[in-house]
Amino acid sequence: MKKLYKYTGCGLDYIYLSNGYEIKDTPFGEGVTIHDLDGLHRTIMTDLIENKPNWTNTELRFVRKELGMTQKTLGMFVSRDAQTVALWEKGKQTVPEEATNIIRGIYLSRENGSVKLEEMLTRINDLDRQINHLKKKIAFESDANGWHTTKAA
């Protein structure tokens, strides 16, 4: 029976492999080859998405990197700035449940071959930013073509 190998290459300190790896002697010391590393990371990601209700800072960092997102991009999807995401990843603030739920939705929509959720979230965030730049008064007027917005005085 092989000894369990503690795999820390993903940034999570509790991942152990019972097989799927080889330990080799190299001129620089002991080295490890992980078979199907992408598959391993997908499996870790799926386990976090489906089985872990609250993520730690290191789990969030792993998920973000696996999604190929920067802190800024992730922040836009969850209506936070990059600095807030950095605080979550440093463990200075807990990751809000609503943020993890949005991230879960993004991952699952990608796995199902659809990025519609990401497109919808991007559009909502774009609208939120536009609203912040609008004047407080919005005027509407009616003409022969129906109702439409007009600039308020």
Q: Which helix (H) or strand (E) holds 57?
A: helix 57-66
Is 137 part of a structural domain of the chain? no
Q: What is the pLDDT of residues 2-60, one digit of tens each?
A: 689 999 999 999 999 999 999 999 899 989 999 999 999 999 999 998 889 889 999 99
pLDDT at residue 1 in the model: 59
**Length of the chain (residues):** 153
Structure tokens at 99: 């943020």
Is 120 part of a structural domain of the chain? yes
Read off φ and ψ for residue 151, nearest 5 degrees. Answer: -70, 135
Q: What is the pLDDT of residues 68-95, one digit of tens each?
A: 999 999 999 898 999 999 999 999 999 9
**Could you list the residue range(s) of the whole structural domain that residue 94 is in?**
5-130
pLDDT band at 124 (very low <50, low <70, confident <90, very high): low
At a CB cut-off of 8 Å and minimum separation 6, what does 68 contact?
Answer: none
Is 146 part of a structural domain of the chain? no
The tally of domains found in the chain comes to 1
